[in-house]
Amino acid sequence: MYKNALVTGGSGYFGTLLCKQLAIEGWNVRNLDINPPEENLENVDFYKYDVRDLSQAKLIFKDVDTIFHNVALVPITKSSNYSETNLLGTKNTIEMAIKSGVKSFIYTSSSAVFGVPKSNPVKIHDVPIPAEKYGKSKLDAEFLTSTYSSEIDVSIIRPRTILGHGRLGIFQILFDWISKGWNIPVLGNGENIYQFVHADDLAKACILASSSKGLNYYNIGAKNFCSMRETLEALCNYAETGSKVISLPQNIFEYFMNSASFLRLSPLGAYHSLMYGRSLYFDTTKAENELGWKPTYSNKDSIIDSYKFYKSNKDKFNSNDIKLDKSPHSLPMKQGILKLLGYILNII
């Protein structure tokens, strides 16, 4: 028997991969997004709506079993008001779901809700303390969805930084530098433990969570991970372009990143400068035990898979054919002052 899914943000980076995986597993999928998908998928129907106003979208929710809610403004948008989409959009979606008799609601949150954690690994019951506006908006939306759990099954998925085939955004800057053989900076000694998650592993966790009852929280990340330096060195070794990982003073470089971001000279947001040189990794035991979820990709596998996609499509990113109505995570970034930094690091 087929299940019916509605994926909000199904044209975005992760939403697209989730739609594909659902279709592969026999679901009938509806993609609700303000942007059209880049490709038409079998058993995936696109509906153009904005989660900030779903008053005309009632029929799209009819006969849906599970909603996978992914729509969000992300840090690289540098929005002055994350709440309008991340909170109001979530409220509109879950209330429409309840009115329509949807059985379960899967909310893709963010590890940004934890800010800089007091200790690692971050466990499922650790108290979230976001350190910037994006993380706060995601935590507010978590709390909002939890208040509806008596009316609909709610699973809150907290992924670590997502990588995988098609992932660009700020990672495109990293991949561009490595493809040129430029040096790659870490902050301090780069020994901060930083966990990623491959989009395919995240999609599997979301789909498995659709069968969970009541209110649940799941931390999702790679099982095999390492320091930021080790992850980047593995990518440099794979690329064989001559790139090396070099250390920069953490406090000075964070000040530079924050100032450049504030002046809109850099695509990086507050969360990026906050976490690049700090440790954050999850205890994923609950997802493994309750969902039977087993991640396939390590940190190194995930970032190399992302780089392979970049290399195969590099020529497209230098053309004028880039569609701007795509998720920021699927687009190459304008490097701004970071390109100058890259030149400087390359002659050190």
CA gap 304, 306 in Å, rounded = 5
Whether 46 contacts 31, CB under 8 Å: yes
State residue 123 phi and psi, 5-degree precision. -100, 165
pLDDT at 320: 45
Does any domain span residue 133?
Answer: yes
In this predicted structure, the answer to whether residue 222 has a pLDDT above a threshold of 90 is yes
Q: Is 333 helix (H, G, I), strand (E, B) or coil?
A: coil
Does any domain span residue 287?
Answer: no
Q: Using the 3D structure, point to which of 178, 203, 220 is the last residue of a domain.
A: 220
DSSP notation for 116-154 = S-SSSSBPTTSPP---SHHHHHHHHHHHHHHTTTTTSEE
Q: Does 236 share its domain with 253?
A: yes
pLDDT at 345: 79
Q: Does 260 share its domain with 177?
A: yes
Q: Does 176 share its domain with 37?
A: no
Q: Output the pTM of the full model.
A: 0.92
What CATH number has the domain bearing residue 76? 3.40.50.720
Q: Does 181 share its domain with 98?
A: no
In this predicted structure, the answer to whether residue 4 has a pLDDT above a threshold of 60 is yes
In this predicted structure, the answer to whether residue 337 has a pLDDT above a threshold of 70 is yes
In this predicted structure, the answer to whether residue 3 has a pLDDT above a threshold of 60 is yes
Q: pLDDT for 85-119, tens place per residue?
A: 999 999 999 999 999 999 999 999 999 999 999 99
CA gap 250, 240 in Å, rounded = 27
In this predicted structure, the answer to whether residue 195 has a pLDDT above a threshold of 50 is yes
| Percentage of the residues of the chain whose pLDDT score is greater than 90 | 73
Q: Does 95 share its domain with 182?
A: no
Whether 194 contacts 116, CB under 8 Å: no
List alpha helices for the chain, DSSP H.
13-24, 83, 89-99, 133-146, 170-180, 199-209, 228-239, 250-262, 270-275, 285-291, 299-317, 337-346
pLDDT at 74: 80
Helix (H) or strand (E) holding 4: strand 4-8
The number of folded domains in the chain is 2
CA gap 269, 173 in Å, rounded = 14
**Looking at the chain, how many residues does it have?**
348
In this predicted structure, the answer to whether residue 196 has a pLDDT above a threshold of 50 is yes
For residue 8, the enclosing domain spans 4-163+195-220
In this predicted structure, the answer to whether residue 42 has a pLDDT above a threshold of 70 is yes
Q: pLDDT for 128-158, tens place per residue?
A: 999 999 999 999 999 999 999 999 999 999 9
Q: Are strands 193-194 and 226-227 parallel, antiparallel or unpaired?
A: antiparallel
Geometric angle at alpha carbon 311, from 308 and 313, rounded to 5°? 110
Q: pLDDT for 229-238, tens place per residue?
A: 999 999 999 9
Q: Does 256 share its domain with 212?
A: no
Q: Which of 123-127, 309-313, 342-346 has the lowest mean pLDDT?
A: 342-346
pLDDT at 324: 45
- Identity (one letter) of the amino acid at 223? K
Q: pLDDT for 259-302, tens place per residue?
A: 877 777 777 777 777 788 999 999 999 999 999 999 999 999 99
* Number of C-beta neighbours around residue 202 at 10 A: 26
Q: What is the mean pLDDT of the chain?
A: 91
